[in-house]
């Protein structure tokens, strides 16, 4: 039975209803005809899982300046972040928090009634002197509060949501310099129908792709659909090799325990009970940036100082904190520990290990969230990206905690504004239902395939190899092993078949398409990581353990051709007033 195809026409389409998509929608709605497409109900987006906070130099509890925040972000990025973009983010942070407060977000407060702030990794006073209180928070549910607040604002503005519509393709029209984005093709999960959305502007805000790793803090839905669709359509991806591992995932599961736990005074200890971060980062200790802490944990375990029967984890120790502080400031994560480990965190230290967490790389954009398609920063008219799926780049080689909730709000807002302005100046694209042909053929091929390869098996094999070979520490050998497995899985993917041939909530089908994105992006990550013969931020090569600013202070652009092969080229980092230094904390 052939699929039904419906047609819609809008000025602006936003793909994704997490923090970035909703913040953009607030800017665009009211100015032009806007649709927000989301594969999840908006309030189930991963932004709602964010715990620890969103930073801004409000100076509510101690002296602070946006310039200090910018310095920390540049240093935290291991000098791969673009400084003009970082300046914009840190300056606009203050306004962005106030905006959220005016939207009704119930932040945790100081006794005087101001927005309270707490410490987070890599955020310091006066260029590294000591940890500073910069993160605004709502207990350990900050993302939940941001998502609910933004969603309420969208409802108040009558934003047009298409919930459980999963975008499978992007539409372009015109050739050469006339080429522009012209809409998307979406699949309606409840019916299996296809929908062509013709639109003058499209903003991708589809979040991360942490599901390519086995131990991951990311939700099952974080499969890189936005970057994946664009990569498959020949657009480049930036800095894919920089993938962040958060130091404190629950051992064996990867569920996140916020860095806010260390911000509140939590301590990391090895199997011997030693506070090993004192050795690695004597000034800020447990509040060093995530790349350094994850590597330090890896080293403790490798050198035999891990805890447990296999000595393969370390502890997050909260037992010295006052119980009332734990209840007030960290209620959710301590609940997770009780539920998943059966441990009382007020009495016992918590087994943790680094967990795949955040994609620094993604769809290359400029500071107005316009997608750029080459290393000369050529803009693709009508195409925008914001949030975790985008790479501005403000996080460079390593993101600081609390800078992502900030990024999604700041660049969601900028992207929304830029798109609203653009669509008011151009005509409607010439798109018909035929734009859905490619997706329809693909779906019909998948449904009729008798190949016998199973999505779940391939995905598990991908996650295993990525966690073993392309995570906190990499070598040429480990990356070659990952690459060989990915090549094999991509071949096997050709013979994938699905059991569910139906059209109602066919997760067999959607997971098959999601897996294709994970495979492509993992391939881009590994190819980029093999080429980058240095160690910078989250990309640590045991065989090249030094940062090489002469050769490698540049962004990677990965391109995928029609056969799925990846080639690389590079773009210089945009500097500013901070010169690269040795990263001591």
Ligand X SMILES: Cc1cc2nc3c(=O)[nH]c(=O)nc-3n(C[C@H](O)[C@H](O)[C@H](O)COP(=O)(O)OP(=O)(O)OC[C@H]3O[C@@H](n4cnc5c(N)ncnc54)[C@H](O)[C@@H]3O)c2cc1C
Q: Which residues are annotated as a binding site for substrate?
A: 246, 258, 357, 399
Beta bridge partners, 145, equal none
- CA proximity to 287, closest of 319, 313, 314, 264: 264
CB 131 → ligand X: shortest distance, Å? 16
Say how far apart CA 36 and CA 13 lie, in whole Å.
6
The piece of 106-114, 201-209, 532-540, 560-568 that touches ligand X (CB under 6 A) is 201-209
Say how far apart CA 142 and CA 380 lie, in whole Å.
34
Under a CB-based contact definition with an 8 Å cutoff, are residues 517 and 225 in contact?
yes
Q: Which is nearer to ligand X, 218 or 471 (CB)?
A: 218
Say how far apart CA 3 and CA 470 lie, in whole Å.
39
Q: Does 416 bind ligand X (CB under 6 A)?
A: no
Say how far apart CA 548 and CA 553 lie, in whole Å.
7
CB 227 → ligand X: shortest distance, Å? 10
The piece of 202-210, 280-288, 298-306, 492-500 that touches ligand X (CB under 6 A) is 202-210
Number of other CB atoms surrounding residue 110 within 10 Å = 12
Say how far apart CA 256 and CA 233 lie, in whole Å.
33
Q: Which is nearer to ligand X, 530 or 538 (CB)?
A: 538
Q: Which of 301, 316, 408, 498 binds ligand X (CB under 6 A)?
A: 408
Q: Which of 29, 166, 478, 560 binds ligand X (CB under 6 A)?
A: 166
CB 26 → ligand X: shortest distance, Å? 13
Q: Which is nearer to ligand X, 172 or 276 (CB)?
A: 172
Q: Which is nearer to ligand X, 208 or 289 (CB)?
A: 208
Say how far apart CA 233 and CA 552 lie, in whole Å.
28
What separation, in Å, do the N-terminal and C-terminal C-alpha atoms of the chain show? 62
Q: Which of 8, 26, 32, 51 binds ligand X (CB under 6 A)?
A: 51
CB 402 → ligand X: shortest distance, Å? 4
Binding mask 368-397 for ligand X (x = CB under 6 A): -------------------xxx--------
Q: Which is nearer to ligand X, 118 or 483 (CB)?
A: 118
The piece of 89-97, 236-244, 404-412, 451-459 that touches ligand X (CB under 6 A) is 404-412
- CA proximity to 79, closest of 393, 426, 512, 465: 393
What would you measure as the largest C-alpha separation in the chain, in angstroms?
A: 67
Count of residues that interact with ligand X, criterion CB under 6 A: 43
The binding site for FAD comprises 16-21, 38-53, 225, 388, 404-405
Q: Which is nearer to ligand X, 409 or 420 (CB)?
A: 409
Q: Which of 133, 134, 290, 536 is catalytic?
A: 290
Q: Which of 19, 81, 121, 364 binds ligand X (CB under 6 A)?
A: 19
Say how far apart CA 187 and CA 488 lie, in whole Å.
29
Q: Which is nearer to ligand X, 42 or 128 (CB)?
A: 42
Q: Which two tokens stand for residue 500?
A: 């569910």
Binding mask 134-163 for ligand X (x = CB under 6 A): --------xx--------------------
Number of other CB atoms surrounding residue 477 within 10 Å = 11
Q: Which of 32, 50, 418, 439 binds ligand X (CB under 6 A)?
A: 50
Q: Does 518 bind ligand X (CB under 6 A)?
A: no
Q: Which of 256, 371, 423, 538 binds ligand X (CB under 6 A)?
A: 256
Q: Which of 205, 369, 380, 419 binds ligand X (CB under 6 A)?
A: 205
Under a CB-based contact definition with an 8 Å cutoff, are residues 163 and 154 in contact?
no
CB 216 → ligand X: shortest distance, Å? 8
Q: By CB under 6 A, what part of segment 347-366 binds ligand X?
A: 358
For ligand X, which residue has the nearest CB? 18
The binding site comprises 16-21, 38-53, 225, 246, 258, 357, 388, 399, 404-405
Say how far apart CA 257 and CA 51 lie, in whole Å.
8
Say how far apart CA 107 and CA 152 lie, in whole Å.
16
Instruction: Return the ∠ at Cα 223 (arms to 221 and 225), rounded to 5°.
Output: 110
Instruction: State the number of CA atoms in the 13 A half-sphere of 339 facing the CB.
Output: 8
Q: Does 508 bind ligand X (CB under 6 A)?
A: no
Say how far apart CA 444 and CA 476 lie, in whole Å.
40
Residue 141 annotated among the catalytic residues of the structure: no
Instruction: Return the ∠ at Cα 85 (arms to 50 and 240), rounded to 5°.
Output: 60
- CA proximity to 199, closest of 187, 186, 181: 181
The piece of 41-49, 106-114, 422-430, 496-504 that touches ligand X (CB under 6 A) is 41-49
Beta bridge partners, 245, equal 356
Q: Which of 5, 11, 28, 45 binds ligand X (CB under 6 A)?
A: 45
Say how far apart CA 352 and CA 268 lie, in whole Å.
9
Taking only Cα atoms into account, the Rg of the chain, rounded to an integer number of angstroms, comes to 23
Say how far apart CA 154 and CA 114 lie, in whole Å.
26
| Residues taking part in catalysis | 290
Binding stretches for ligand X (CB under 6 A): 15-21, 37-40, 42, 45-47, 49-54, 142-143, 166-167, 205-208, 217-218, 225, 256, 258, 358, 387-389, 402-405, 408
């Amino acid at each position: 039975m052939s699929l039904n195809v419906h047609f819609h026409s809008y000025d602006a389409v936003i793909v994704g209803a997490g923090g970035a998509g909703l913040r953009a929608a607030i800017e665009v709605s009211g100015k032009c005809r806007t649709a927000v497409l989301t594969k999840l109900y908006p309030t189930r987006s991963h932004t709602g899982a964010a715990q620890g906070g969103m930073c801004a130099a409000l100076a509510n509890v101690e002296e602070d300046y946006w310039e200090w925040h910018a310095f920390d972000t540049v240093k935290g990025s291991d000098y791969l972040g673009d400084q003009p973009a970082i300046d914009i983010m840190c300056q606009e942070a203050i306004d962005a928090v106030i905006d959220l407060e005016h939207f009704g977000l119930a932040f945790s407060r100081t006794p005087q009634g101001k927005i309270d702030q707490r410490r987070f990794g890599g955020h310091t006073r006066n260029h590294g002197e000591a940890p500073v209180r910069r993160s605004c928070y709502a207990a350990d549910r900050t993302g939940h509060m941001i998502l609910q607040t933004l969603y309420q604002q969208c409802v108040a503005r009558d934003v047009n949501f298409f919930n459980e519509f999963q975008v499978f393709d992007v539409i372009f029209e015109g050739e050469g310099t006339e080429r522009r984005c012209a809409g998307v093709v979406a699949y309606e999960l409840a019916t299996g129908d296809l929908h062509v959305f013709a639109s003058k502007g499209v903003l991708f805000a589809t979040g991360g792709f942490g599901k390519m790793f086995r131990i991951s803090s990311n939700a099952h839905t974080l499969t890189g659909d936005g970057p994946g669709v664009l990569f498959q359509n020949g657009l480049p991806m930036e800095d894919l090799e920089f993938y962040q591992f958060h130091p404190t995932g629950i051992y064996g599961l990867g569920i996140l325990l916020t860095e806010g736990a260390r911000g509140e005074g939590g301590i990391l200890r090895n199997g011997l009970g030693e506070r090993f971060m004192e050795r690695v980062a004597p000034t800020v200790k447990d509040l060093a940036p995530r790349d350094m802490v994850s590597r330090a944990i890896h080293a403790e375990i490798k050198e035999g100082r891990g805890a447990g029967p296999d000595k393969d984890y370390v502890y997050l120790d909260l037992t010295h904190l006052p119980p009332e502080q734990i209840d007030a400031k960290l209620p959710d994560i301590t609940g997770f520990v009780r539920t998943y480990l059966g441990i009382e965190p007020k009495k016992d230290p918590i087994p943790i290990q680094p967990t795949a967490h955040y994609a620094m790389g993604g769809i290359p954009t400029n500071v107005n969230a316009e997608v750029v398609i080459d290393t000369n920063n050529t803009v693709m008219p009508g195409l925008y990206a914001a949030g975790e799926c985008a790479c501005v780049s403000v996080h460079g080689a390593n993101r600081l905690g609390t800078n992502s909730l900030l990024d999604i709000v700041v660049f969601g807002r900028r992207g929304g504004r830029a798109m609203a302005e653009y669509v008011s100046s151009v005509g409607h694209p010439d798109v018909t239902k035929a734009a859905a042909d490619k997706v329809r053929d693909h779906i019909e091929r998948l449904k009729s395939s008798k190949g016998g390869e199973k999505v779940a098996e391939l995905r598990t094999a991908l996650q295993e190899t990525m966690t073993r070979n392309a995570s906190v520490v990499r070598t040429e050998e480990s990356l070659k092993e990952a690459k060989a497995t990915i090549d094999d899985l991509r071949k096997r993917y050709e013979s994938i078949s699905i059991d569910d041939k139906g059209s109602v909530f066919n997760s067999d089908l959607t997971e098959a398409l999601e897996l294709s994105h994970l495979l492509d992006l993992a391939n881009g990550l590994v190819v980029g990581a093999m080429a980058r013969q240095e160690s910078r931020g989250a990309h640590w090569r045991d065989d090249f353990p030094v940062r090489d600013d002469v050769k490698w202070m540049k962004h990677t652009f990965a391109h995928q051709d029609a056969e799925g092969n990846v080639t690389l080229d590079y773009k210089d980092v945009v500097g500013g007033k901070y010169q690269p230094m040795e990263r001591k904390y």
